[in-house]
Structure 1
Amino acid sequence: MEHQEHNNRKCTDSQVLTVGIVSAMFFGGNQTTALWYMRSHIFDNMLKKSGFTKRLHKLKELLMNIFFSIGRIFKYIHCEMEYIIDSYPVKVCHNIRIKRCKLLKGEEYRGYNASKREYFYGFKVQLITTKEGIPVEMYFVEGK
Structure 2
Amino acid sequence: MQGHFHFPADRAKIQKQYAAIFFFVSAQLSLIQTHLQRRNRHSVKQEDSVIIAIHILGKLLGFSSERAWHRFVTGNLFTNGQFLERSRSNRRCRALHFAIKWIRHELAKRGHHHAYVVVDSLPLPLCHAARRHRVKRFQGIADIGYGASKKQWYDGWKLHLQVTDQGLPWDMW
TM-score norm. by structure 2 comes to: 0.43
5+ long unaligned stretches in structure 1: 76-81, 89-111, 119-125, 140-144
Q: Tell me if structure 2 keeps the 8 A contact 1:71–1:137.
A: no
Residues paired across the two proteins, number: 98
Structure 1 counterpart of 2:91, from 42, 54, 64: 54
Match status 1:42 vs 2:66? no
Structure number with larger C-alpha Rg? 2
Q: Tell me if structure 1 keeps the 8 A contact 2:32–2:99.
A: no
More strand per residue = 1
- Deviation per CA, 1:12-68, whole angstroms, max 9, x where unpaired? 222222332233333531111111111122123111121111100111100111122
Question: Which residue of structure 2 lines up, in the alignment, with residue 23 of structure 1?
Answer: 58
Structure 2 counterpart of 1:70, from 103, 107, 127: 107
Question: Which residue of structure 2 lines up, in the alignment, with residue 86 of structure 1?
Answer: 120
Structure 2 vs 1, CA of residues 45 and 86 (structure 1 numbering), >3 Å: closer, same or farther?
Answer: farther
What is the RMSD computed on CA atoms of the aligned residues? 3.6
TM-score norm. by structure 1 comes to: 0.51
Query: Among the aligned pairs, what percent are the same residue?
Result: 13
Give runs of ≥4 in structure 1 deviating > 6 Å: none
Structure 2 vs 1, CA of residues 49 and 67 (structure 1 numbering), >3 Å: closer, same or farther?
Answer: same
